[in-house]
Structure 1
């Protein structure tokens, strides 16, 4: 039996504490000796002239305002059409184009829903209209559009019958004949999202699992948002949406003009949402009631 085993438990504890204290004392002494070695070392001083010159050089080469002005993500494509001056006393166009819907926007962000023959399509400003010849949409106004037909400006007024259907942004009282009402308060929808109004206003991120939304750009301009089903496809099908549908406007306001803050404010002050949707070459209107 060794001498350690002969010690009483209490005495062994005391010896352990004493040894630990001695080790700490030795380590502390070593640390102070190491510190003392570096006390006498003098770091080279930098002259004031050098510091001034470095400061000036840094200010010159790394000016924050200049860096912020650099287009790190590229420049927005210039739109020659937006710079085109709209003439006065423009004559009516003889083209067989029917304006069935207008979503007037700021600058180059307006959208016009045009029908030619049996084809209906939404066009943004600057887009070439799919008709014979060279015809481009120049401007979208409250009750008519301006086009450029072979370098001549012409206007086409909103068809009054189509304007009465509710596709016109300025009119929200009447309902379009192809409109579809969707009641968001049904049991199936509430089972997925709870109270629709409360979810939209207070917890919109809960809807992320149901939808995938991507901006649709045309010539550098935002024209709308493409929607696709998310991980959970149940809500998408209950809303009668189809993958690839493009949302153009909400309650008559073009989505290309609306900021996130404006959209959230609209959600707080309305009990229904009327969406203008582009599906392939067809324009649909859907009304969602809370």
Structure 2
């Protein structure tokens, strides 16, 4: 199957630097303390186990695996969503009568992709396979360039991209076939390219990739990332300037911007290890960002 086009929302221009991704990873473990503390307080109290002096739990010294800890979803397990009996998209799927608006799309390879949907005044980003926050049993099963396929009570239905959104500047862009074509596409659609290796950035943080791999804590001075909750769940991460605002001023971000997903994965469901591996294994990132109620799709190139 050929790669599907990526639908980009270009109402606002610019790129997000890799430091945003690194700060998400850095803040995961720090923020998890507060989240887990709240979860523990909500549980029924459990009496502590009294152990004799010198007694060891299980007869062994306590040992902790760092890799095991990193692989744990730090903000809790993702709520289980009903899985469709068959995710194969049928032919001639009828249009849905549900009052769901498709505000933005990032098409994937059939098993991935993100759709930004509005229903009853609420706008949320959903990954393929997630249950929609609407009455009944409705699951997102496919994301394409101009429409989505849902399963509504075991029947497949189609919802097209909102035409008003298209007139506001949503365009479908075919994947670039070369680096020069990609660069040209970025410049023409986004308007301004932020070079992570320019002197202004390197003067602050050094080599961006080396800093991300070896000294991510250094970025905490320049950027602050905090979780955003909605209906009791982590929705994404708000980005703002740190104690030193210079780096924040060099990138095209605004206070209150909320990062919702990275390469089709909801950031609320990502572990620290997954974020770091993504930074290490790829040099191209597609981010969904919410800004003042508008969903933006931004491409990051390391």
TM-score normalised per structure 1: 0.53
Which segments of 5 or more consecutive residues in structure 1 lack a partner in the other structure?
1-53, 65-74, 168-172
For the residue of structure 2 that corresponds to 1:181, the secondary structure is coil
Query: What's 2:158 paired with?
Result: 155
How many residue pairs end up in the alignment?
Answer: 209
For the 8 Å contact 1:100–1:163, the answer to whether it is kept is: no
Separation in structure 1 between the aligned mates of residue 223 and residue 189 of structure 2, nearest angstrom: 27
**2:219 counterpart of 1:215:** no
Shift of 1:272: 3.8
Higher relative contact order structure (alpha carbons within 8 Å, sequence separation ≥ 6): 2
The structure 1 residue matched to 2:115, chosen from 112, 115, 118, is 112
* 1:139 lines up with 2:140 in the alignment: yes
Q: How does 1:124-203 map to 2 (within 5 A)?
A: 124=126, 128=133, 138-143=139-144, 144-146=148-150, 154-157=157-160, 164-165=172-173, 177=189, 181-203=193-215
* Residues 135, 192 of structure 1: alpha-carbon distance in 2 compared, 3 angstrom cutoff: farther
Map residues 23-102 of structure 1 onto 2, 5 A cutoff: 82-83=81-82, 91-94=94-97, 97-98=101-102, 100-102=104-106
Distance 1:163 1:137 in 2: 27
CA distance in 2, matches of 1:271, 1:210: 22
Query: Match of 1:123?
Result: 125
Report the Cα offset of residue 147 of structure 1: 7.0
Q: Is contact 1:99-1:159 (8 Å) kept?
A: yes
Aligned partner (choices 262, 268, 293) of residue 281 of structure 1: 293
Question: Does the 8 Å CA contact 1:193/1:207 hold for their aligned counterparts?
Answer: yes
Q: Contact between 1:183 and 1:288, CA under 8 Å: does it hold in 2?
A: no
Distance 2:118 2:196 in 1: 32
Pair 1:225–1:145, CA change in 2 (3 A): farther
| Alignment root-mean-square deviation, CA | 4.7
Q: Which protein has the larger Cα radius of gyration, Structure 1 or Structure 2?
A: 1
The structure-2 alpha-carbon separation of the partners of 1:156 and 1:238, relative to structure 1 and needing over 3 Å to count, comes to same
